[in-house]
Amino acid sequence: MIRLVVLTILFTALSIFVSAQDAKQIIKKADEKWQGTSQYSEMKMEIIRPTWKRTVVFKGWGLGRDYSLTYVSAPAREKGQTFLKRKNEMWTWNPKIRRLIKLPPSMMSQGWMGSDFTNDDILKESSIVVDYNHKLIGRESINGIDCYKIELIPLEEASVVWGKIIKWISVDEFDQMKSEYYDEDDMLVKTDSAYDIKQMGDRKIPTRLEIIPADEEGHKTVVHIIKMQYGIKKDQSFFSQQNMKRIK
């Protein structure tokens, strides 16, 4: 009897460990597919509110998770604004007032350019791979696509925006088809959904992302990926404050 109890405990512990390892590998594959080692992107973002709508067009360069540079090309009044991340430092440059501003970590949860897209989404301050514990909690179909359902709980020492994330990752292609973001009180803050899988560069990825806040009726942000290139040749020197002011 004691032997059976011990074996049951060991089997349960092993199952939990294997599940955690599998969940992390799934998240890692999904993140690597989306991010790549380096990338160039062109996107259009529609910010939709109950009484108005506006469009922001931007392009960005990324090198791993430590370096990113984003340039706003429209609308005209915001053209030329740039956003830079170099490891743990984040900056924004406004050409109208010719001012360079360092962004504090407290601003990572704020909406980027007035959208439901956060500064953390753009600047990639946190990592869904290294900053969270991962748990496979089931499988569900999202828009007819079979997906792993994975819960992400932040590590105690991690400096992250969210108290919990639940992601649905497609079983066959490792696409992030849906994500729910919760605050520290376990209240749903927003939901991201992905659509329109197309060939972009050397891989197929979702090209339309809809971001809907949980407690603001009629609010939505839709991001259209116009172009995405992976494996671009950029080194760390490209991601500089000097380049923020001259990139176009």
pLDDT digits (tens, 9 = 90+) for 186-199: 999 999 999 999 99
CA distances from 151 to 19, 80, 148, 185, 233 (A): 11, 38, 10, 16, 34
Query: What whole-number percentage of the chain has pLDDT above 90?
Result: 72
Q: How far apart are CA 203 and CA 212, in angstroms?
A: 26
Cα Rg of the chain, angstroms: 20
Q: What is the pLDDT of residue 125?
A: 62
Which long-range contacts (C-beta less than 8 Å, at least 24 apart) are formed by 101-104?
none
- Phi and psi at 121, nearest 5°, equal -65, -40
pLDDT tens digit sequence for 16-68: 333 445 999 999 999 999 988 999 999 999 999 999 999 999 999 999 888 99
pTM score, whole prediction: 0.84
pLDDT tens digit sequence for 127-153: 899 899 999 999 999 999 999 999 999
Helix, coil or strand: residue 11? helix
Domain architecture of the chain: domains with CATH: 21-246 (2.50.20.10)
Q: What is the pLDDT of residue 159?
A: 79
Helix, coil or strand: residue 81? coil
